């Protein structure tokens, strides 16, 4: 299907892009890698009158270490994050997640900022960003602000970004010593999206006790979420298989689950519990050097 008519803009700077978005308001839409927006436009589920292509703005695709955190430009592609030596050493959960996204073509073109701003309920990055307690930087004509990941995802395809804001950067902490991480997912056979995706970050003390644990889950509800009940059950405990299995049963407690032709809500709940257990076990093994 052919999209509705629109006017195409290609700003050369972030300031120009921000000004265009402020000028066109609800009629304007930001285009990054295009893997989310273009299909919606072709299906006429989105019909912006003005398309603002930020894909060529210099400096928005950089990955750097700053102040003990990894600062990731919104235009960094999935492939960049998968292959970055800095990311692999400082926060390998990002690299592992990137490698699970779509196929080679998607990873070469799709961007982390575009994925987060689109907030697809089955996107991979959302679980990982939550598990890492990331901060998301947004810029508008009136200035910039930082949004905690826990406050970013509001509803189906809806984020805390304001109409005149552009997502420009994601900041995640470098993982401390004795930490482990894992991202595991069930791929949808057609789209490659997550039927269930679980991101885990765990830190251990010298005695093998869980000092800190974060579990982000995507694919099972309209928004990603932290499995707080699982985290609370395992913090301060040794992560033996029995305790992990028991705690993982609470992975989706209190969550309104989605159901579709491919996976019922009961099946998604089962997968979430199984993959939460597996991801915690893998992350804990990595934290103790058994990678």
- Measure the CA–CA gap between 161 and 259, rounded to whole angstroms: 27
Examine the fold and report which residue of 133, 150, 173 is the final residue of a domain before the chain moves on. Answer: 173
What CATH number is given to the structural domain containing 38?
A: 3.30.43.10
Examine the fold and report which residue of 131, 153, 173 is the final residue of a domain before the chain moves on. Answer: 173
Residues 252-283 have pLDDT tens digits of: 999 999 999 999 999 999 999 999 999 999 99
The residue segments making up the domain with residue 277 are 179-287
Buried b (16+ CB within 10 A) or exposed e, 59-80: ebbebeeeeebbbbbbbbbbbb
Rg (CA), the chain: 19
pLDDT at 291: 56
Examine the fold and report which residue of 111, 144, 173 is the final residue of a domain before the chain moves on. Answer: 173
CA separation, residue 9 to residues 18, 54, 153 (Å): 12, 9, 28
Given a cut of 70, the residues of the chain with pLDDT beneath it are 290-291
CA nearest 32: which of 1, 55, 6?
Answer: 55
What CATH number is given to the structural domain containing 213?
A: 3.30.390.50
CB 172 within 8 A of CB 146: no
- Give the Cβ contact number of residue 47 at 10 Å: 13
Number of structural domains the chain divides into: 3
CA nearest 69: which of 145, 176, 168, 213?
Answer: 176
**What is residue 53's DSSP assignment?**
E
Residues 169-198 have pLDDT tens digits of: 999 998 888 999 999 999 999 999 999 999
Q: Please, what sign has the CA dihedral across residues 189, 96, 240, 175?
A: negative
pLDDT at 175: 85
CA separation, residue 96 to residues 79, 199, 250, 290 (Å): 11, 10, 25, 17
CB 3 within 8 A of CB 42: yes
- pTM of the full structure: 0.95
CA end-to-end span of the chain: 47
């Amino acid at each position: 299907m052919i999209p509705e008519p629109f006017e195409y803009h290609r700003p050369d700077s972030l300031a120009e892009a921000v000004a265009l978005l402020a000028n066109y308001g609800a009629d304007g839409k930001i285009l990054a890698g295009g893997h989310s927006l273009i299909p919606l436009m072709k299906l006429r589920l989105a019909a912006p009158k003005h398309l603002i292509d930020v894909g060529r703005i210099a400096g928005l695709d950089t990955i750097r270490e700053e102040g003990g955190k990894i600062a990731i430009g919104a235009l960094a592609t999935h492939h960049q994050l998968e292959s970055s030596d800095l990311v692999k050493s400082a926060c390998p959960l990002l690299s592992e997640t990137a490698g699970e996204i779509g196929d080679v073509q998607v990873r070469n073109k799709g961007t982390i900022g575009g994925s987060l701003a689109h907030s697809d309920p089955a996107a991979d990055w959302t679980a990982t960003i939550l598990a890492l307690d990331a901060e998301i930087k947004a810029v508008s004509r009136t200035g910039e602000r930082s949004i905690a990941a826990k406050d970013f995802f509001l509803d189906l395809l809806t984020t805390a970004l304001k109409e005149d804001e552009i997502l420009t950067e994601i900041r995640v902490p470098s993982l401390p010593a004795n930490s482990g991480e894992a991202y595991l997912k069930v791929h949808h056979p057609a789209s490659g999206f997550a039927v269930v995706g679980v991101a885990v970050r765990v830190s251990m003390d010298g005695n093998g006790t869980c000092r800190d644990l974060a579990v982000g889950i995507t694919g099972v509800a309209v928004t990603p979420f932290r499995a707080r009940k699982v985290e609370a059950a395992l913090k301060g405990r040794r992560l033996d298989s029995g305790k992990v299995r028991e705690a993982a049963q609470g992975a989706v407690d209190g969550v309104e689950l989605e159901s579709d032709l491919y996976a019922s809500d009961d099946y998604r709940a089962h997968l979430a519990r199984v993959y939460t257990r597996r991801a915690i076990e893998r992350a804990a093994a990595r934290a103790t050097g058994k990678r």
